[in-house]
Amino acid sequence: MTERTDLELAERIRLLEERSSPGGRPVRARRRHPATASRILLVGVSVASFFAVITGFGLRQNSASTAVAPVPATGAVPVAAAPTVATPAPTSATPAPTSIAPAPQPPPAQSTTRGS
């Protein structure tokens, strides 16, 4: 076997100390993962599409709840209708008669056995 001399060991220790010291060899920057950029792009696109769908639902719901009169094709400006006068509420304690009919009842169930 080959025995190492003290000079070889001293040189090896010096090299190891240089590598581990902060002022030694310059530290290489970490290499980025190749798919990082595409993942960031996909996250951005998915978040943007999510907000677009939510905004679409919000606009759809708001447009359904507000009634807007269509503008005639003649270019005439529509005139607002006159306000209606509310009728006073009845002052008696008895409720007003209703004209709602009771719900129809289903026909009675028939027997499915024959000849008995």
Domain boundaries, the chain: 35-65
C-alpha angle 39-43-47 in degrees, rounded to nearest 5:
170
List of residues 6+ apart from 69 with CB closer than 8 A = 78
pLDDT bracket for residue 10 (50, 70, 90): confident
pLDDT greater than 60 at residue 1: no
Tell me the C-alpha distance between 97 and 92, whole Å: 12
Within 13 Å and on the Cβ side, how many CA atoms surround 23? 0
pLDDT bracket for residue 102 (50, 70, 90): confident
pTM here? 0.31
Q: Mind listing the pLDDT tens digit for each residue in 34-72?
A: 899 999 999 999 999 999 999 998 888 877 666 556 655
Tell me the C-alpha distance between 51 and 42, whole Å: 14
